[in-house]
């Protein structure tokens, strides 16, 4: 829903019917949504997400992940009415702000739930699936927009809004039928319910996985963290050993946007500025989303052989020369072979998106969902995700100044800031990002308490098994 929503509103600015309804008439008789309202709509989306993510940290701890997600689905049904019937751009902005609030809850709650209902060995696959859903939302949005662009009248943009009503009710029912997180139940002292939840989650015979033994491990871990003064507040995320764990979540997940700064979220616009016609630009954008999907599915296979640290660091190292080439190729776009050079830039970006989709796109979901202490897992995830949204605001403000022909007009040279950020992240990941894939919360607590260097995590973890 988040990626569908975000792509929807950013794409509507090019819809003539949307421009006529919510824009102003220009001297030449055409219509356009004023820049201040374009920024306002995009910012409303991001601000709503930030509020929702932070609020989830409190609400999920108090009422549990299931109830929070069900309430978010119910709110979503109501808020869609505002965007669907919005009579003015002001009302639409309010609608986008409210609509993004439950999406913010989902953004933080789903990775946490996936991590808490699965064993450490499967946690990575389930949390990465959250990223796959994000990519599928993007592909769905492209398909819907492609099918409604030619529709005359207001239904060209109302139908994409209305399609959002399909999902909340069945997802609310599915969430109601799902078991509550045994970790949350154990933290609340509801031990019998936690055991019942574990029995629902485990299909293996008791001789293979004993729910009572799993519950004992959960309770032991929670009590150990409380003895370490990790009670469950946002402040606890910045105290003691948790500060390092919060840094890892915030940088690995929050800085996802930096290797594609100014280009990744404006890829269709970038292709157009590079000299491609609008249809080619749109088709390449769909291709990018498809490659991101293939990359995310590939990451499941890669995770079986490689760890998260290797995939994250390796992805950044592979993306560095590709994005560098996009920037350097721009120096040759004014030559007689300029058209070929522009297509080469586009090809490089397709390669970049595949690498991104197989590495730093999905992997941070697993890292952020598992690196925090269990008593503050939801809040650690919330801080990581909101770092991403805060940087997205900076990206939203800076990108037009870098790309717009009336401003920086950098075209392909806009890749150079992304290259610089990629290099900084490579250095950070090498020295600060540990390998935590498949490790239990107990083992992670011990390793962070012992202040084991990031590069020695995997080696030291074997001593605790």
Q: How far is the C-alpha of 106 from the C-alpha of 103, rounded, in Å?
A: 5
Residue ranges of the domains in the chain? 1-178, 228-465
33 burial level (CB within 10 Å; 0-12, 13-18, 19+): buried
What does the pLDDT average to over 417-439?
95
Question: What integer pLDDT is reported at residue 208 of this predicted model?
Answer: 56
The first and second tokens of residue 183, run together, are 């970790």
Does domain 1-178 fall into CATH 3.30.450.40? no
Question: What integer pLDDT is reported at residue 320 of this predicted model?
Answer: 97
What does the pLDDT average to over 423-451?
93
Q: For residue range 76-127, what is the model confidence (pLDDT) as tens digits? A: 999 999 999 999 999 999 999 999 999 999 999 999 999 999 887 788 888 8
| pTM of the predicted structure, to 2 decimals | 0.90
H/E run at residue 31: strand 31-32
Q: Do domains 1-178 and 228-465 have the same CATH topology?
A: yes
Angle between helices 155-162 and 65-85 (to 10 degrees): 170
Tell me the pLDDT band of 34, cut-offs 50, 70 and 90.
confident
pLDDT at 270 over 70: no
Tell me the pLDDT band of 453, cut-offs 50, 70 and 90.
very high
Question: What integer pLDDT is reported at residue 166 of this predicted model?
Answer: 92
Question: What integer pLDDT is reported at residue 206 of this predicted model?
Answer: 57
User: How large a percentage of the chain has pLDDT more than 90?
Assistant: 50
Question: What integer pLDDT is reported at residue 372 of this predicted model?
Answer: 92
Mean pLDDT is lowest, of 207-211, 239-243, 293-297, for 207-211
User: Cα–Cα–Cα angle for 233, 236, 239, nearest 5°?
Assistant: 165
Q: Which residues contact 338 (CB under 8 A, 6 or more apart)?
A: 275, 332
> What CATH architecture does domain 228-465 belong to?
Up-down Bundle (1.20)
Average pLDDT, whole number, for the chain?
87
pLDDT at 207 over 60: no
Q: How far is the C-alpha of 49 from the C-alpha of 102, rounded, in Å?
A: 8
């Amino acid at each position: 829903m988040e990626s569908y929503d975000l792509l929807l509103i950013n794409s509507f600015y090019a819809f003539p019917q949307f421009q006529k309804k919510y824009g102003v008439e220009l001297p030449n008789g055409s219509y356009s949504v004023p820049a201040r309202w374009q920024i306002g709509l995009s910012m409303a989306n991001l601000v709503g997400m930030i509020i929702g993510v932070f609020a989830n940290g409190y609400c999920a701890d108090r009422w549990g992940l299931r109830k929070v997600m069900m309430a978010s689905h119910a709110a979503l049904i109501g808020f869609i009415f505002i965007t669907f019937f919005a009579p003015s751009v002001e009302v639409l902005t309010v609608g986008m702000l409210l609509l993004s609030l439950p999406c913010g809850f989902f953004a933080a709650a789903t990775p946490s739930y996936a991590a808490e209902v699965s064993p450490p060995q499967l946690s990575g696959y389930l949390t990465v699936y959250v990223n796959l859903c994000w990519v599928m939302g993007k592909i769905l949005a492209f398909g819907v927009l492609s099918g409604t662009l030619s529709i005359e009248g207001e239904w060209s943009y109302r139908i994409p809004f209305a399609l959002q009503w399909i999902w909340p009710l069945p997802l609310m029912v599915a969430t109601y039928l799902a078991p509550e997180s045994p970790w949350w139940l154990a933290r609340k002292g509801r031990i019998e319910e936690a055991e019942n939840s574990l029995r629902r989650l485990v299909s293996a015979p008791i001789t293979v996985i004993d729910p009572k033994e799993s519950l004992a491990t959960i309770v032991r871990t929670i009590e150990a963290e409380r003895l370490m003064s990790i009670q469950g507040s946002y402040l606890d995320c910045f105290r003691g050993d948790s500060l390092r764990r919060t840094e890892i979540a915030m940088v690995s997940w929050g800085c996802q946007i930096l290797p594609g700064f100014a280009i990744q979220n404006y890829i269709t616009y970038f292709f157009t500025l590079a000299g491609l016609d609008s249809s080619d630009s749109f088709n390449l954008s769909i291709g990018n989303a498809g490659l991101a999907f293939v990359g995310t599915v590939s990451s499941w296979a890669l995770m079986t052989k490689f760890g998260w640290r290797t995939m994250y660091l390796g992805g950044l190292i592979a993306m560095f020369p590709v994005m560098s080439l996009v920037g350097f190729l721009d120096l040759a776009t004014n030559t007689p072979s300029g058209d070929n050079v522009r297509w080469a830039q586009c090809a490089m970006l397709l390669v970049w998106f595949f690498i991104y989709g197989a590495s730093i796109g999905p992997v941070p979901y697993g890292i952020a969902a598992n690196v925090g202490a269990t008593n503050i897992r939801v809040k650690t995830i919330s801080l990581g995700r909101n770092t991403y949204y805060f940087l997205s605001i900076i990206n939203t403000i800076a990108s037009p100044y870098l790309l717009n022909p009336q401003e920086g007009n950098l075209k392909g040279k806009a890749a150079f800031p992304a290259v610089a950020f990629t290099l900084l992240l490579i250095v950070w990941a090498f020295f600060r990002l540990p390998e935590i894939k498949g490790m239990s919360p107990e083992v992670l607590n011990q390793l962070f308490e012992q202040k084991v260097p990031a590069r020695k995590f995997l080696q030291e973890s074997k001593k605790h098994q």
